[in-house]
Amino acid sequence: MNEHSNLQGSQSAEEIIALDKRHVWHPYTQHGVEVEPPVIARAKGASLFDADGREILDMISSWWTCTHGHAHPKINAALARQADTLEHIMFAGFTHAPAVNLAKALSDLLPDDLNRVFFTDDGSTAVETAIKVAYKSWVNRGQTRRTLVAFDGGYHGDTLGAMSVGRSSQMFGAFKDLMCDVRVVPYPATFEGDDAVEEREAGALSALEALLADHKQDIAALIIEPMMQGAAGLRMCRPSFLKRMVAMARAANVLVIFDEVATGFGRTGKLFAMEHADVTPDIVCLSKGLTGGYMALAATVVRDRLFDIFLGHDFDRALPHGHSFTGNPLACAVALASLGLFEEEQTMARITQINARHRTVLDVLAARPDVMRPRTLGSALAFDFGNDTQYQSDASLKLRAWYLANGLNIRPIGSTVYLMPPYCITDDELARAYATMIEGMDRLASGSL
Ligand X SMILES: Cc1ncc(COP(=O)(O)O)c(C=O)c1O
Examine the residue annotation and report whether 427 is marked as an active-site residue of this protein: no
Q: Is 413 in the site for ligand X (CB under 6 A)?
A: no
DSSP reduced 3-state for 403: helix
Q: According to the annotation, is 259 in a ligand binding site? A: yes
Using CB under 6 A as the binding criterion, the count of chain residues that bind ligand X stands at: 14
Rounded Cα gap, residues 365 and 383, in angstroms: 8
What type of residue sits at position 229?
Q
Examine the residue annotation and report whether 423 is marked as an active-site residue of this protein: no
DSSP state of 382: E
Catalytic hit among 121, 152, 259, 282? 259
Least distance CB 362 / ligand X (angstroms): 23
Q: Is 168 in the site for ligand X (CB under 6 A)?
A: no
Examine the residue annotation and report whether 136 is marked as an active-site residue of this protein: no
Q: Looking at residues 336 to 355 of the shown chain, list those that interact with ligand X (rule: CB under 6 A).
A: none
Percentage helix, strand, coil for the chain under 3-state DSSP, each rounded to 5: 45, 15, 40
Least distance CB 251 / ligand X (angstroms): 26
What type of residue sits at position 231?
A
List Cβ neighbours of 202 (8 Å cut-off, separation of 6 or more): none
Size of the chain in residues: 449
Quickly count: other Cβ atoms within 10 Å of residue 158's Cβ: 19
Among 136, 156, 267, 276, binds ligand X (CB under 6 A): 156
Q: According to the annotation, is 155 in a ligand binding site? A: yes
Q: According to the annotation, is 63 in a ligand binding site? A: yes
Minimum CB distance to ligand X smaller for 7 or for 28: 28
Least distance CB 266 / ligand X (angstroms): 15
Q: What angle do CA 398, 374, 354 make, to 5 degrees?
A: 95
Least distance CB 270 / ligand X (angstroms): 16
Q: Is 236 in the site for ligand X (CB under 6 A)?
A: no
> b vs e for 349-361, b when ≥16 Cβ sit within 10 Å of the residue's Cβ?
ebbeebbebbeeb
Catalytic hit among 28, 363, 427, 442? 28
DSSP reduced 3-state for 24: coil
Beta bridge partner(s), residue 70: 45
Q: Is 155 in the site for ligand X (CB under 6 A)?
A: yes
Q: What angle do CA 281, 259, 293 make, to 5 degrees?
A: 130
Minimum CB distance to ligand X smaller for 98 or for 161: 161
Among 157, 233, 289, 412, binds ligand X (CB under 6 A): 157
Q: According to the annotation, is 418 in a ligand binding site? A: no
Q: According to the annotation, is 288 in a ligand binding site? A: yes
Q: Is 230 in the site for ligand X (CB under 6 A)?
A: yes
Q: Looking at residues 170 to 229 of the shown chain, list those that interact with ligand X (rule: CB under 6 A).
A: 225
Minimum CB distance to ligand X smaller for 129 or for 280: 129
Q: Looking at residues 105 to 124 of the shown chain, list those that interact with ligand X (rule: CB under 6 A).
A: 122-124
Q: According to the annotation, is 123 in a ligand binding site? A: yes
Q: Using the Cα atoms of residue 48, residue 50, residue 52 and residue 54 in order, give the sign of their dihedral.
A: negative
Rounded Cα gap, residues 311 and 300, in angstroms: 18
Among 287, 326, 338, 415, binds ligand X (CB under 6 A): 287
Rounded Cα gap, residues 390 and 37, in angstroms: 21
Between 248 and 277, how does the x/- string for binding to ligand X read (CB under 6 A)?
-----------x-xx---------------
DSSP reduced 3-state for 120: strand
Minimum CB distance to ligand X smaller for 124 or for 168: 124
Query: DSSP string covering 180-230, please?
Result: --EEEE----B-TT-SSHHHHHHHHHHHHHHHHHHHGGGEEEEEE-SSEES
Among 59, 127, 184, 377, binds ligand X (CB under 6 A): 127
Minimum CB distance to ligand X smaller for 122 or for 429: 122
Report whether 423 contacts 350 (CB < 8 A): yes
Minimum CB distance to ligand X smaller for 49 or for 325: 325
Quickly count: other Cβ atoms within 10 Å of residue 6's Cβ: 12
Least distance CB 296 / ligand X (angstroms): 8
Q: Which residue is nearest to ligand X (CB)?
A: 123
Examine the residue annotation and report whether 135 is marked as an active-site residue of this protein: no
Catalytic hit among 288, 384, 403, 423? 288
Report whether 281 contacts 254 (CB < 8 A): no
What are the binding residues for pyridoxal 5'-phosphate? 123-124, 259, 323-324
Can you give the binding site for ligand X, defined by CB under 6 A? 122-124, 127, 155-157, 225, 230-231, 259, 261-262, 287
**Residues with active-site annotation:** 28, 155, 259, 288
